[in-house]
Chains A and B, each alone.
Chain A
């Protein structure tokens, strides 16, 4: 078995052409470093499982940033900490591919803590190799989240303390608490026996992705002799004697037997159905009716305001949609955000036969006030000669202005008579249509079916509209 490990896998390039410098045959890894061994185990498994060609290797920031020098697989190099997120983008794009997310301890457990947690929690169909050597390697020996208490580093020159840095983090144990991960094991690049165990774990994890799209997490304790300021042998001994004590080896979770293959495929899509899916449908309104009616030379600017729940915003959208069906230019703009949730709502609508510049309404030609505060707030903004429509069943006072048309409608009371308070906004639309004369009653009634999202309400709204129209006639 060991012979096979020592032989160079076909998942590696023969010559490392991407590597800078003249030596294209050896890796950039220091003697005694675990990356080389782990790379070999992965490469060997990919060939044995006939998966190298369809593999995508995500390399992190850190010493293994150059994994693409060596692996003859698709290679995407990720930003610091983000390998699992990048892996998600790749795996979702190519569900049939084998995606390997490879990270060190700073990358995975510090700056990338969130990405690994959520990739694991979603059970992404990727394999994660986490190299834990308890130190930042490439940046020059700073403390890692996995650095042991008392361990000296460039940023813990007197040793890591509980007081200042807290406990080293045990990622395998954390990942194993989640529901979705299928197989979580901590292994070690130490003596031959431990490497054999690591090999088994690497192969099992990759196989589980190939066969079941299972999320597997393999933590690999590894030496960084250069930054530990030890020789390779001492480094490996330190991993075995010291690091392993805090990070016990072994399987932390394994539900691989009962885990059923995860379907990561995308849904089928028939491009000829695109218009239906996007609800893009041609209006069936009789163009003749529109042409017959069409008004020229007008711009109406509406401010529509009331309590949340009175249908203020939809009053605006329905009015706009009706305008659009008359081939007018229309715009609708809400007051949005927390305001919307705070109980009052208002929106601005413009309907014009000309191109609309600003969609904002400062001085409406028509104010629709559905409650008292709205009348108080906006009455003075209405242009001279404009119109104020207000719900006289909810507003006690009359508008003060004497230079505008005033139309009181007991819309809420009338809606209650129809059986639902919610129809008040439609009653007001009916009144407006009659009063303003810019929309054809015929076209509006024909359009209701297209405009209303809830088709059950079309008949009721038709009644409400007509009630509003009748009310204006009766004045």
Chain B
């Protein structure tokens, strides 16, 4: 039960940026600045919640910060067609430095900030559910929000024109432009949607189950989301499967720590699995090719 609950908790963190990143990947842009956006959002969530003593303001600040951050990314990578790796990594470094700088300048602390004035995002208590208490009760409201977002994503991804536009922007943007839909706009939409999701995830990180901002507190979660996106390769189901696998391993590792085992070992497995899958895929397809060439 403990593993189940902590899986859900970490899953939310990865799932939101993974879904957002899946759509930007569909439009042909791998967004590698997720880690940075998440960190910036987490900081501004604490800032907003601290100034106004309201989690709503925390969420709002986080989303706005993430939007600004992603708009910079969009401007450089979509409008200027700059290299996504340079800009993405530059933004990740920027996020880490900027949040530490702001911690020092605004709060006068070096590594972490917490205060009673920060309001947490509320938990949802559904009353007494008997044996289902452990399964459904007392999760953060963000968990339920994420569930709704996942369902919405599934629907939009495969049943609406917007979902098709996303894929068209990635596969053949000229055709999309010719059909009268601006591929530029579709790309921007996907980046902005991703920004909102990452913003929520960042807020959840800092004011979701704790009320604290630590420097570099995203601790690779953004990268895990990027890994899931790469593995899913734009496909909804595979992205979800990869995310769940990562979330489970993360939670399993943390709970194994109580038995003296080290979480870093279990965290290696999803990556090993992906490498194995990639090699298998590659070997299979190149064998197929070899057979075709012989015939």
Whether A associates with B in a native complex is: no
